[in-house]
Amino acid sequence: PASVLLNRAVSAMETIRRQYGVSVAYYDAKVVEKQERDDAMESAFESAIEKEDFEVWYQPKYSAKTKKIIGAEALIRWRGKDGKLIPPGEFIPLFEKDGLIPVLDEYVFKKVCCYQKKRQSDGDEIIPISVNLSRASILRKDFVKNYIGIAGRVGIEPSVVPIEITESMAVKSISVTPFAEDLIREGFSLHMDDFGSGYSSLASLQILRFDVIKLDKSLIDFIGTPGGESLIRHTVAFAKESGMSIVAEGVETEQQLKFLQSIGCDSIQGFYFSPPVSQGEFEQLLKKC
Ligand code: C2E
Ligand code: MG
Ligand code: MG
């Protein structure tokens, strides 16, 4: 039937989305396999939330000056039936497309709130642990009220769970702006994620009152090239002048760290110090620090 043909053509087209030099795609075994994997993940989603098969991992953020842990980012992983971890890159884009992502984002937010509360009750030092939000989460009805309600019921200050939204979301999605402003008004800290990953512009930093900008790995990888270093130096200077603090993401080498320290970058997140780790390992790292 024509409808099936059309669906298959669309599925094939999806595999070359944003690859502007490629104009032909085939509906083949690989496409079928991916579709089956996506279907399986969608039908397993609800029970995975119930059974808590989604695990929150933590990647520490280190002070560039003292090399101590001063914060962390919560990153989701899915523990599959075979016990293996599925990285977010394999399911976040799917759940963004089919509309399931707000449920997952809220799940992570709740988990992090509860974890912060536990640390508070145990008398542990509280460092901010940020969460990532997709566009659909922010645009959901009563989103800010809902998140404030969760933080209030758990009994933590919103400021200990900063919210990361990507630069492209802040720029392209004007509809996101009023919700983000409400978040700030309610005491959340707003972090601009992945700055420099697309067609970035310094003007995007003026759209909302971000407390922190996170330099994307693709910018950090420029370190070592004269033009790249100058670009990063000026971006950092501009952000600092505007009162924002800077986190460098994807820092993997000593050379990158030294350069970032020399230009006054505030915090470092990357494999050089630590990859994302389970909660247990994160606590070990905190004890060592
Ligand atoms: P992100 O928010 O930009 O998170 C940083 C990603 O960079 C993480 O990938 C982290 O493991 C990786 N990374 C950190 N340091 C290094 C490094 O030195 N080298 C390299 N090669 N990679 C590094 P991860 O955990 O696979 O997450 C990928 C993306 O998935 C995240 O990018 C975020 O956009 C999304 N994501 C993760 N958890 C959630 C969530 O709970 N909700 C939503 N909406 N998105 C999430
Ligand atoms: Mg992030
Ligand atoms: Mg990022």
Give the model confidence (pLDDT) of 180-225 as tens digits: 889 999 999 999 999 998 777 787 887 788 999 999 999 999 999 9
Residue-averaged pLDDT of the chain? 94
Ligand 1 cavity residues, CB under 6 Å? 59, 75-76, 87-89, 92, 101, 105, 108, 132-134, 164, 193-194, 217, 249-252, 269-271, 276
State residue 159's pLDDT score.
97
In tens, the pLDDT along 63-111 reads 999 999 999 999 999 999 999 999 999 999 999 999 999 999 999 999 9
The 10 Å CB-count burial string (b at 16+, else e) for 255-276 is ebbebbeebebbbbbbebbbeb
- SS3 at position 163: strand
Q: Which two tokens stand for residue 111?
A: 């988990």
State residue 199's pLDDT score.
74
- Which of 109, 132, 274 should be mutated for ligand 1, with most atoms under 8 A from CB? 132
Q: Closest Cα partner for 41 from 97, 109, 95, 101?
A: 95
